[in-house]
Structure 1
Amino acid sequence: MSVNLVIFGRTYLFAEGLARLLSDSVNYQIVGIACDDDDMKALLRKNNIDIVVTDHPECCSLLEAVLGTGHPKILLLSDNDKNPLLYDELKEMISKGLAGIMPKMGDSQLLKKAILKLQSGEFWIDHKTIGSILTNFNQEQKKISLTKKEKEILKYVCSGESNKSIAEKLFISEQTVKSHCNHLFKKFGVPNRMKLAIIAAKFTATSTHKSNLSTNGQLQ
């Protein structure tokens, strides 16, 4: 079964060149190319698109705005060496339909392999991009500074303690615990206790071979 592709490029020259590169495959059909939001919206509304190949980092938001949750899979060709993706950016893009990511400077065989993986329902991300994103994730987390009290509360949150239990252990009010938790949500960029515990656990796991929580309130 042939898969319908759209090429969404930041420049027409790039989009046209990519379309020619992929035009010899019998596994998919290129139904159009676009270089601006209006052209992309028109293609989406007129065609049944399966996969969008793009170097445009805002493509996920555009598709979400046009088609809601039922939009095509997105393969992003990333300038990761020049503009590294942050961990939080990747999470948001995946939630909006990103199904694959590879270096923009990757070879044509890698690109075709990635498209076939998306076609079969798999997620594609190359090893180099994974390494870069994890490095950026660790660097971002190292910038988070916590007070002594926030460290204590974070430890109990990661252990699954309730606000009431934490308040009793630290001899403070539940409202004070809640206030500290809200500060932690903002610092770690998470919406709730579960995600706070997960991301804090991931970070401390990568930090134990260094010094965990330093005495000056800086996560190392």
Structure 2
Amino acid sequence: MSIKLENVTKIYQAGEVETVALKNVDLEILEGEVVVLLGPSGSGKSTMLNVCSGLDNPTSGTITIDNEVISEMNSKQLTKFRRDNLGFIFQQYNLLQTLSVKENVEVGSEVSNDPFMVEEIIEQVGLTPNIDKYPFQLSGGEQQRVSIARAVVKKPKIMFCDEPTGALDEENAKEILGVIQKLNETYNTTVVLITHNPSISVMADRIVKLNSGEVVEVIINKDKKDAKEIVWG
């Protein structure tokens, strides 16, 4: 699926104070691309991800995913659209502590009309030996892989990743990015990944730089690298 933003603005109101989080953004993300949204804290990355995915509504402008204008949908329509088409990976794993790896991933499959096989996705993220373990028995990197499997098993057409490696060390972070890259290559899933770490951008097809709520630069990456080649910095 592709995403198109046309003249998108997002303003947050707190009493009499207005904060412009996005300002007149025009951007198109193509089907099957890995796009990294890069910028410092407060640049608008999270707001961009939230409005692109229908977690939040823009104040003005139009957001279209394929032929669906999600910026005109109501809450019920957005919930169904996200369930049927989108996956989310967050910095926090949000696993259910009383469920095993397999059971946590099954939670994702149960909200999909056409999920992947649970065991297949657990194998894809390298967790088959841990399939019956509980979150407290896993490392941080392994827990993040469970959250990825739970997001992927529903067969999303777009995967939104919000600082997915923020809580991980370099070795685990590269592993997680490798899993995301493999899923993009295997299933042609569009990936939108936000980060403040410029090193991660080498695995993207395009890098979108944001500052003060505006897109300041879009870079086509002609030398796309494997996640394991990322030089951490």
Shorter-chain TM range is under 0.3
**Higher RCO, 1 or 2 (CA under 8 Å, sep at least 6)?**
2
Q: TM-score, normalised by structure 1?
A: 0.26
